[in-house]
Amino acid sequence: MMEKISEAKEFIEGLKSIDAKISEKLGRDRALLYTIILLQNTKIEALYPEISVSACKLFPLFFSLKGEFSEYPDGRKVRDCLWHLVDEKKAWVKGNTKSGYIPTEIGKDIYEKEIATLLKGKTQVEFKKYSTGSDKQEYFIRRCFETDAFLKFYKGEQEDIKEYEIRYLLRGTRTTDRRILRDNLHKYLKYYKNLSFEDVKIDPKTKKTVLSKKEWQALGELLNYLEKNFDKIILKK
């Protein structure tokens, strides 16, 4: 019996290439960032194979093999570009080949300000902007649940949490000033106090419950733990 094709594979195989002139304006780094955001917003885990094939489909100018095998991705180019996006000098993306990749707040900002405008009318993804009010608070609180720092804390592995994972949770990089990180922590604590479990348990896109009350309580414990131990965790550079 023929195996049923997965929705993710069907979506990726159906991608069409973006005009070469637009690709040139984007550049390789923004093209791969767009690819990762596209996968994330269509609920496809952005693992290395998915990114490689999608990037090749969308941007063959940058990510396909040359010559008679041009329909296949050039893995070296994809890896090199991912390394560049993850590097702390850029920090547009967070992750690795095993866990997959997600855009950082910097990456999302680059998408909104530079990529979405250029691809308007040609993009297969819309990226919601969060600017004011409770939407902003709910967005940043929901983001916490996707971080490695929270996942480790929730599993009782807080001793294994790395400083860079805490920095990412607090919307920073390895070089972000401690004062900014502390301010962001205080904002998270404020958001958490302003919201309830009922405010954030539903995914606004799928309308499904994606969060348990136990996870909600664990986030509050994590934020209080960070406030109490901030000086021990976030080292002076």
Cα–Cα distance between 199 and 218 in angstroms, integer? 16
Q: What is the CATH number of the domain that holds 49?
A: 1.10.10.10
173 in a structural domain: yes
Q: What is the span of the domain harbouring residue 63?
A: 9-118
Considering the domain boundaries, does residue 144 fall inside one?
yes
In a domain, 63, yes or no: yes
What angle (nearest 5°) sits at the alpha carbon of residue 143, between those of residues 97 and 49? 20
Q: What is the pLDDT of residue 36?
A: 95
- Decide which of 93, 118, 143 is a domain's last residue: 118
**Residue 158 sits in the same domain as residue 105:** no
pLDDT at 33: 96
Residues 106 and 144 in one domain: no
Q: Which pLDDT does position 128 carry in this prediction?
A: 45
81 and 160 fall within a common domain? no
Considering the domain architecture, whether residues 109 and 14 belong to the same structural domain is answered as yes
Picking from 60, 91, 118, the residue at the C-terminal end of a domain is 118
95 located within any domain: yes
- 175 shares a domain with 81: no
83 and 172, same domain (yes or no)? no
Domain end position, chosen among 118, 145, 164: 118
114, 19: one domain: yes
pLDDT at 122: 54
Contact 169, 147 (CB under 8 A): yes
Q: Are 83 and 24 in contact (CB under 8 A)?
A: no
Tell me if 123 is assigned to some domain.
no
Residue 124 inside a domain? The answer is no
Task: Return d(Cα 166, Cα 149) in angstroms, integer.
Answer: 6
Whether residues 50 and 88 fall in one domain? yes
pTM equals: 0.53
On whether both 104 and 139 belong to a single domain, the answer is no
Are residues 143 and 96 both part of a single domain?
Answer: no
Task: Establish if 179 belongs to a structural domain.
Answer: yes
- The count of domains in the chain is 2
C-alpha–C-alpha distance, residues 210 and 203, integer Å: 6
Whether residues 84 and 20 share a domain: the answer is yes
Q: From CA 111, how far away is CA 88, in angstroms rounded?
A: 18
Sequential pLDDT tens for the chain (237 residues): 334 446 788 888 888 888 888 888 889 999 999 999 999 888 888 999 999 999 999 999 899 998 788 889 999 999 999 998 998 888 999 988 888 899 999 999 889 888 887 887 555 444 444 333 445 678 788 888 888 899 999 999 988 898 888 988 888 777 778 888 898 899 999 999 988 988 888 876 667 788 899 999 999 999 999 999 999 888 765
CB 82 within 8 A of CB 99: no
In-domain check, residue 3: no
Per-residue pLDDT at 53: 95
DSSP designation for 2: P
- Which helix H or strand E contains 103, and what residues bound it? strand 100-103
Residues in the chain: 237
Q: Are residues 140 and 106 in the same domain?
A: no
